[in-house]
Every structure is written in C-alpha cells, then in structure tokens.
Chain A
Amino acid sequence: MKTLIEGKVWVLGRDVDTDQIISGKYLTIIDPEELKKHVFEIALPEFARGARRGDVVVADENFGSGSSREHAPQALRAIGVGAIVADSFARIFYRNSINLGIPTIEARGVRAMFEAGDPIRIDMTQGTVTNARSGARLNFPPLPPHLLSLLEAGGLVEKVRSELQARRASAGGPP
C-alpha cells in the first residue's frame, strides 16, 4: 500500500447506492474488465470512459449503500482508482472495498472541499486529505491496525493466503 496517494478527483453526490454504481442488469457479469465499462452508468456516465488509473473518487455521505454486490468496488478496482474518499460509507461497501485492497477513507466534510478534476493528496500515515489546488486540508481518523494490515497485505485474499501457508508450515507439511 502506498502511504501517499495522489490523483485527479471525480466527485459524486450523497446516497450513491450500489444500483447507481453497477446496475442490477449487469450482475451476471463476472469479468471485472467487462464490469468496469458500466461503472457509475447512472450516477456519472462520463466516468467509465474518462477515468484513468490512479484517479480518486470523492463522494458525499452514504456512498455504496444498498446491496452487498462486490461488483461495485470490483469495477472501481478494475478502473484502477487510487482511493475512494467519502463523507461516509455504507458498511458492506466499505468492507468489500477494503477487502479488495482499495484505500477506502471516511473523512467527514471531504465532498465540500473538492470540485471535479481537482488534484488530491492523501497521506495515509498522517491521516490527511489535501486539495492541492486550493490548499484546503482535512484530517481523518487513521484506519485501525486490523484494516491497515489488510491493505498492506494487498487485500483479504493475500492475507488469508499467507495465513493458510503459515498454518500449513507450522503443521509440518512439505517445505
């Protein structure tokens, strides 16, 4: 995990639910490369084509509410977003997003600080979000160690894989 994240901002409003991130009609798609073509089709149609790797999504309150579909953060990971920062998140989206290894940051007041296209700087160790155009800065509570370790491992898959490996090694399996 990078401790300093910099990128260009896309802004979204409040209550952007998972239906607006990936519509119900795409739920049978498994391939993230295919999914990413439909991301924010309802909420921000120009995003899917215009977003570049490293861009940062900034949203208002209750981002990712609604269903448990992991398609939503998966599509955003496939786009290559550098981070998702919101005033607040719905809980399943937050878990899914962290589990996929996406830096997911709750920072109250962040939406009001940015306009579309602004450059953002996020310092994960200091717990700050800065608008590099206006100079405005906001502190956020640093992530609990458990979640940081998930991000550092690169996501839940990697974390469990090393846990299972360690378990087998200590059980005295083949080297």
Chain B
Amino acid sequence: MSRPAGQTLAEKVLARSAGVERVVPGEIVEGKVDLAMMHEQGAQTVGPFHEMGADRVWDPDRVVIAIDHWVPASTEGAAVLHRILRKFAAETHLPHFYDVGNHGICHQILAENGWVVPGDLAVGTDSHTNMLGAMGAVATGIGPTEMAAVLALGRLWLKVPPTIRVRVTGTLGRGVTAKDIVLRALGEIKTTGATYKAIEFCGPTIERLTMPERFTLCNMTTEMGAKCGMVSPDATTFDFLRPIAKHPMHPLVPDPDAAYERTVEINVDGMAPMVACPYSPDNVRPLPEVAREHIKVDQVFLGSCTNARIEDIREAAALLKGHHVAPGVRFIVSPASTSIYHQCLTEGLIELFTDAGAVFTNSSCSACFGGNMGILAPDEVCASSSNRNFPGRMGPKEARIYLMSPAATVAAAIRGEIADPREFL
C-alpha cells in the first residue's frame, strides 16, 4: 500500500492546531489558537464579544493588544478606540497591553517579544499578521467579529490552503535586499496569485537570511493575497527566539515529499534592486530602469512593519551619512517599535537622520496608511519602504507611491528622485 504524500509546512501546523494526524487542502478544520493579537481595530471586537454573551477571554496569557495606527492618539476617534481597548483589557484581565510609551507596530511587538513561536497558529486583527509566519507558524489576519469568537472560544475555522513554494537561490549583490526578493516574487505571483493559499519560502538564499529579513518576506505575502507566508524554522529561528520565546516551541518542517500546488523559482544572482510602481504592489520593475525616468519625489518614508527594524535603519543611516536630504523633499523615518527607537537613540542614529534634514518620528504605522500623519497631496509622489501603493493608501487617490527597500528610500531622499542605492555604497 502506498504511503500518503507528505505534508507542507502550513498543513503540518494546521494539523497540529486541529489535533489531527494530517490535513488536506480544501478541508475545513477547527484550529486551536495559540496567540491572538489586536490593534485599534480590536475596539470593534468588544461589541460582538459582549453580544455573543461571552464574559471571559479563553486564555488571557495568549492575547496581546498593541496599539499602533494612531500613537499617541491624533484624533478624537482614535482616542476613543484606545479607551475602549484599555477598558476591555482591564475588565477581562488582559495583562499584555503595549500602550503608549511601550508601543510599536503590532507585528513587530509580537516578533521582538517572542509571542509567536514555531508550530503556532496565530491570528491578528491586521492583514499583515502574515509576517509572523517567519517563525515557522501559520499567522494570518482576521476581522474583529471573528476575533470576538476567538477570544470567546480560543478556536477558529480555517480552510486548509494549498501551498505555493517559492524557492530562492543565488547570492544577493551589494545594495540588494530581502525587500527586493519579495518585490520580485510579487511581480511573478501578482496580487491575486496566492489568494486563499499558503506561501512557503525555501532554498539556500532563504536559509542564509536573518530573522528580520524573513519578516520582510513574509510580511508582503499579504500583498499576494496569501492566507499565510512561512519559512521553516531552523537554527536562525531558534537562536532568535530562545532568549525571548513566551511559550514552548513546537518546530515543524515540511516533508521532503510534500505536495505543492506549484513552485516559483527565483535566482537572485545579478538581480538589481526592485521597485513597485503605482498603483499596485505587483507592478514591479527593476529599479535602475525606473531611475532612468527621473521621477521626482516629494516625500520619502522609511517605516512600516515591512521595513523599519533596527537593521533597516542602520543600513539606511550608513548610506545617508555624509549626505543631506534633497531640497524640497520630506524624509520621514519612523522606527517600528519603541525599543528600536531607543536603540537608534543610543547608537546616535536619530542625530544622524535629523542632522541630514530628515524627520525622525515616534514609533507607529506613521505615513504607511494615510490616516494619521505624512499624508500626501493629490499630485505628490512618495518613495516608501512600506508594503502597499493602492490608490488612496497615503490619502488622495491620485498620489503616487513607489515601494522599495530602505536603502533605495535613502537614495531617493538624497537625489530627490528615484535612484539606485548602489550608487551610494
């Protein structure tokens, strides 16, 4: 009798969460949730939670609240959302609340505090929860009503996704980064290519990436429509998590004979930096080609859950050193968490950026989503290290956003137009 085919990483994690031996794509399973995260959108969870007649949270030690979109509150509406969450946390005895002063972008808070570990099923009220798949977990975004059900029951229904494998080989050139890999992958898979599916990154290039780089990769699987984006846990994962993991790890790896829907092969030897042009993250072109069009920028944003970790900011600082932001350009730098902000402070990076004419802000989602600060005028252009450039993302629908690596944002800030970061190495 033939043995059933092996399982992908996502299938293994979902089987574990459902308490079964194996699952197959298309099957609906009821998964036990290991970690639930809410940001401001969680304020909309409170109503349905009470309407459901729930009075207690299934496991307060597995719930994290991290406010990030408007921190400190910049509008009355945001202040009300924060207040609803603080009250709810107090009433239902939720101890893990990352409030103003200890705040950061929700996904970064989960990552740097070891809230998600290998083998976990993690859900958050934000679509970029996919980022935490870099831990070897299934991490995915859900809406606030669904979160209310998770808080009440600790469970969630999921359709087991088929998996697309993205195999990356080759060596990145200088000035070419994990962001360029994921943009390249987006250019191939497109914004709908992985809808309802899992993405599994593998191959020698991925194995050499650091955790922050893997976060960047998995973060933008959301733009491919994916349910989750994952990297198999290895020594890099364990070294990162060992000192900070909040819960025991259950590392799982895909079977060698796992069945993938398809494999996308990417070789990065000689690959140029990439840029996603308006108005879609999959409108990807090699950056040198776009640079030849001399596209002037009004604003440059180095921030967001995709690329505002200390490594990103250090790399950007190294390029900026000795240069000044071009006249007429606003360069906004927003670290992804308060602890990163603090690191920047001790390393003298805040001084370096502000001396060069940038504005270095408090940690938050900042200009990423067009609802807080760094909003564009209709005819303006922004070079950004974030993850979305749909119409209206940074305010008016006409404004044009180009997505790129942190290094490339610095090149744009110095030149005042989209430029190849390798010219500044």
Chain A residues within 8 Å of B, Cβ to Cβ? 15, 17, 19-20, 23-25, 27-30, 42, 61-62, 65-71, 73, 88-92, 95-96, 99-100, 144, 146, 155-157, 160-161, 163-165
Contacts and interface: CB of A to CB of B under 8 A. Distances in A.
Contacts, number: 130
A19 B388 CA distance: 11
Given A19-B392, A28-B40, A67-B127, 20 more contacts: A17-B390, A27-B40, A27-B41, A28-B70, A28-B81, A42-B397, A61-B192, A65-B192, A66-B127, A67-B126, A70-B144, A88-B192, A90-B225, A92-B127, A99-B149, A156-B145, A157-B48, A161-B51, A161-B52, A163-B153
25 contacts: A19-B391, A20-B392, A23-B392, A25-B371, A27-B69, A28-B75, A28-B371, A30-B80, A62-B195, A65-B191, A66-B388, A67-B369, A68-B127, A68-B143, A69-B143, A88-B195, A90-B195, A96-B143, A99-B149, A156-B145, A156-B148, A156-B149, A157-B48, A164-B52, A164-B54
Contacts of B393: 19, 24
B291 interface: no
Contacts of A25: 370-371, 395
Given A92-B142, A99-B143, A156-B149, A164 B53 contact: yes
Contacts of B53: 161, 164-165
Given A25-B370, A29-B77, A92-B127, A68 B142 contact: yes
A54 B80 CA distance: 32
Given A66-B127, A156-B145, A42 B391 contact: yes
B78 interface: yes
B71 to A, nearest CB: 13
A12 B142 CA distance: 24
B125 interface: yes
* 3 closest residue pairs by CB, A with B: A28-B77, A96-B143, A24-B371
Contacts of B227: 91
B28 interface: yes
Interface string B172-185: 00000000000000
B360 interface: no
B143 A95 contact: yes
Contacts of A15: 191-192, 280
Nearest to B124: A68
Interface string B99-132: 0000000000000000000000000011100000
B192 A66 contact: no
A175 to B, nearest CB: 16
Contacts of A92: 127, 141-143
Given A96-B146, A157-B148, A66 B390 contact: yes
Interface in B19-51: 28, 40-41, 43-44, 48, 51
A91 B225 contact: yes
Interface of B: 28, 40-41, 43-44, 48, 51-54, 69-70, 75-78, 80-81, 125-127, 141-146, 148-149, 152-153, 157, 191-192, 195-196, 225, 227, 280, 369-371, 388, 390-393, 395, 397
A160 B54 contact: yes
Nearest to A159: B149
A163 B152 CA distance: 11
Nearest to B125: A68
B41 A70 contact: yes
Given A42-B397, A99-B143, A155-B145, A19 B390 contact: yes
A61 B392 CA distance: 19
A164 B369 contact: no
Given A42-B397, A69-B41, A99 B145 contact: yes
B369 to A, nearest CB: 5
Nearest to B54: A164
Nearest to A145: B28
Contacts of B280: 15
Contacts of A165: 53
Contacts of B144: 70
Nearest to A160: B52
A80 to B, nearest CB: 18
B195 A160 contact: no
Contacts of B195: 62, 88-91
A87 B42 CA distance: 30
A156 B392 contact: no
A146 B153 contact: no
Nearest to A67: B127
A175 B127 CA distance: 41
A60 B43 CA distance: 31
Nearest to B74: A28
A164 B145 CA distance: 16
A10 to B, nearest CB: 19
Contact of B145 (A65, A66, A67, A100): A100
Given A25-B371, A62-B195, A161-B53, A42 B145 contact: no
Contacts of A19: 370, 388, 390-393
Contacts of B70: 28
A107 to B, nearest CB: 15
A24 B145 contact: no
B81 A70 contact: no
The winner among B40, B44, B149, B390 for most chain A CB atoms within 10 A is B390
Contacts of B40: 27-28
Contacts of A28: 40, 70, 75-78, 80-81, 371
